[in-house]
Amino acid sequence: MPEGDTVHKIANALRPPLEAAPLASLWLRDRGDLASFTGAVVEEISALGKHLLIALGPRHVLHVHLGMHGKWFRNRPGEANARADRSAVLRIETEADRFTCARAPVAELLRRADLAAHPVLARLGPDLLAPGFDASRAVVRARRCDARSIADLLLDQRAACGIGNVYKSEVLFAEGIDPWTPPARIDAARLAAVYARARTLMQGNLGGWRRTTVRPVRSGDAWPLGLPRLFVYGRAGEACLRCGARIASRLQGDAARTTYWCPRCQPAGSPASIDVSASSTASPRPHRGAR
Which residues are marked as active site?
2-3, 50, 257
Nearer to Zn ion among residue 121 and residue 265 (C-beta):
265
Min separation Cβ 140 and Zn ion, Å: 32
Q: Is the CB of 59 or the CB of 242 nearer to Zn ion?
A: 242
Interface residues toward Zn ion, by CB under 5 A: 240, 242-243, 245, 262, 264-265
Q: Give Cα separations from 94 to 22, 24, 53 (angstroms).
A: 6, 5, 18
- Paired sense of beta strands 51-56 and 42-48, if any: antiparallel
Distance, first Cα to last Cα, the chain = 17
Cβ of residue 150: shortest distance to Zn ion, in angstroms? 17
Work out how close the CB of 231 gets to Zn ion at its nearest, in angstroms, rounded to a whole number. 8
Could you tell me the CA-to-CA distances from 195 to 137, 188, 234, 242, 278 in Å, in that order?
10, 11, 22, 22, 16
C-alpha radius of gyration, the chain, whole number: 21
**Cis-peptide into 271, omega within 30 deg:** yes
DSSP designation for 22: B
CB of 152 to Zn ion, least distance (A): 22
Residue nearest to Zn ion (CB): 240
Judged on CB neighbours under 10 Å (0-12, 13-18, 19+), 209 is middle
Least Å from the CB of residue 154 to Zn ion: 19
Contacts of 171 (CB under 8 A, 6+ apart): 154, 163, 194, 197, 198, 201
Helix axes 188-203, 135-142, angle to 10 degrees: 120
Residues 6+ apart with CB under 8 A from 165: 1, 3, 155, 233, 257, 258
- Looking at the Cβ atoms of 68 and 239, the one nearer to Zn ion is 239
